[in-house]
Amino acid sequence: MYRFILRRILWSIPVLFILSLITFFLMHSIPGGPFDTEKQVPKEIKANLERKYRLDQPLWRQYMEYSWGIVRHLDFGPSYASRSRTVNDIIKDHLPVSAQLGALALAIAIGTGVPLGIIAALKQNTYIDYASTFLAILGRSIPSLALGPFLIWIFALKLHLLPVATWETPQHMILPAITLGAAESALLARLTRASMLQVLREDYIRTAWAKGLPRPSIMLRHALKNALIPVITVMGPLFAVIITGTFIVEYIFAIPGLGRYFITSIGNRDYPVIMGTSLLFGFFIIAANLLVDISYAFIDPRIRYQ
């Protein structure tokens, strides 16, 4: 197990390197620069700005200096748009908001999707099963880009039950978290239902019934534990979807998170912010997949990593 964890950690280094390389050269391949949007800036001032941020250097040198700053000091550089702040300051200020949104959305997805899938499997071919299946299909069919404005229109503009925009009170968190977690909750519900039905048809479950074991023991100790293995398998990709989904949801609800700042930085050609955010979220996705792989061994003792 320890060798497997070490290998995965070592493999994450070239993955982050390739991610940084692709992101860096894709950014610079887009026409325009970070100071082209400035209004009526003399060429001399623009040249001084590019010299200050070393944008007049060859691309390979810019990349090497940027990478060395990260490796040596974990320094993601200055922001070109917010020149009084560094990327580290921006991450420090805005990442907690995105983390809260992602955690709430993940809690909604797991807290509603898994129980709904279990109940649907136990009540197969009943109105409960049909209703949960309908909700799951509906949840997967509506993207957050459409669900967010619809929830704003219903609960904020028509019913006046919940506020929108900013991130000040728990009431402000409800609609964005539901928007981000609804589709993933539907995915977990369908997956849990299918996995639970398959496990309930296994021979060891029939043996447990034949032995007269209590129903809660059969469901929790034998059926549910094995049914959750496929569910945990998708937790890594699910985490990635939620992370990338925060970009859109934060923009829709005007949430001052890192995802919204990332979208703004693309329009401003703020290269260090784009690089820093991409590397940070890439690291989070790699770490989430590693935790998912490690959890296999604790849920199913038959799984071993050599």
pLDDT grade for 174, boundaries at 50, 70 and 90: very high
Q: Which residues contact 14 (CB under 8 A, 6 or more apart)?
A: none
CA angle 183, 187, 193 (to 5 degrees): 145
The whole-chain average pLDDT of the chain stands at 86
Q: Which amino acid is at 134?
A: F
Q: What is the mean pLDDT of residues 130-137?
A: 89
Task: Give the residue, 125 or 306, on which the prediction is more confident.
Answer: 125
- Model confidence, pTM: 0.85
| Distance, CA of 287 to CA of 295 (rounded, Å) | 12
pLDDT grade for 215, boundaries at 50, 70 and 90: confident
Q: Which amino acid is at 234?
A: V
Has residue 1 got a pLDDT over 80?
no
The pLDDT value given to residue 304: 54
pLDDT in tens, 237-276: 888 888 888 889 999 999 999 998 898 888 888 899 999 9
The pLDDT value given to residue 33: 76
Cα distances from 261 to residues 93, 95, 299, in angstroms, run: 11, 10, 38
Tell which phi-psi region holds residue 39, choosing left (phi > 0), alpha (psi between -120 and 50) or beta: beta
The pLDDT value given to residue 301: 61
**Topology classification of domain 91-257:** MetI-like fold (1.10.3720)
pLDDT grade for 45, boundaries at 50, 70 and 90: confident
**Contact between 162 and 156 (Cβ < 8 Å):** yes
DSSP-assigned letter for residue 169: S
In angstroms and rounded to an integer, the radius of gyration of the C-alpha atoms of the chain is 24
pLDDT in tens, 67-107: 998 988 888 989 888 878 899 999 999 999 999 999 999 99
pLDDT grade for 130, boundaries at 50, 70 and 90: very high
The pLDDT value given to residue 81: 84
| Distance, CA of 237 to CA of 191 (rounded, Å) | 14
The pLDDT value given to residue 297: 65
The total of other beta-carbon atoms located within 10 Å of residue 93's CB is 14
pLDDT grade for 178, boundaries at 50, 70 and 90: very high
The pLDDT value given to residue 82: 83
Q: What is the mean pLDDT of residues 142-170?
A: 89
Helix (H, G, I), strand (E, B) or coil at 86: strand
**Contact between 242 and 207 (Cβ < 8 Å):** no
The pLDDT value given to residue 305: 52
**Which of 97-111, 195-209, 224-238 is predicted with the least confidence, judged by mean pLDDT?**
224-238
Structure tokens, 271: 């290269």
**Contact between 295 and 232 (Cβ < 8 Å):** yes
> Among residues 224, 155, 165, 158, which one has the least CA distance to residue 192?
224
The pLDDT value given to residue 303: 59
pLDDT grade for 36, boundaries at 50, 70 and 90: confident
> What phi and psi values does residue 264 have, to the nearest 5 degrees?
-65, -35
The pLDDT value given to residue 204: 85
Structure tokens, 4: 């497997």
pLDDT grade for 136, boundaries at 50, 70 and 90: confident
| Cα maximum dimension of the chain | 86
Helix, strand, coil tally for the chain in percent (to 5) = 75, 0, 25
